Amino acid sequence: MIELDAGNVLLKPTQRKQLMAWLRRSLRLGDRIGDFILRISMKRSGNIYEVKADVHDSAGDFGCRARMHHWRDAFRELVRKLTSRLHAQNLLRQVAA
């Protein structure tokens, strides 16, 4: 499950659809791990966009953060970090089983 809190960042519906497309792999990895909840919050401060993600799954909880000058770059960096961490959790879970 994904919860997106856009905060003071105005996103068009097409931009929200694009974000969901970028999160597709993370969602699949989270579903494999189980009990997956992803909370994303976006904030704009001056000309810097900050995107934070809090993840809860059966393997543990963690958070990721990205700050960039454009919301698209910040979100793309967050998705890379998120996918990498979920992949590592999935591998550790499979090794332990």
Tens of pLDDT, residue by residue over 49-66, are 999 999 999 988 999 999
Instruction: Note the pTM of the prediction, 2 decimals.
Output: 0.90
Question: In a 3-state reduction of DSSP, which class is residue 33?
Answer: helix
Q: What is the largest CA-CA distance in the chain?
A: 47
Domains delineated in the chain: 2-90 (3.30.160.100)
Question: Mind listing the pLDDT tens digit for each residue in 81-95?
Answer: 999 999 999 998 888
Mean predicted lDDT score pLDDT of the chain: 93
Whether 55 contacts 86, CB under 8 Å: yes
pLDDT on residue 17:
93
Mean pLDDT to the nearest integer, 27-33 = 92
Give the burial string for 21-39 (b: 16+ CB within 10 Å, else e): ebbeebeebbeebeebebe
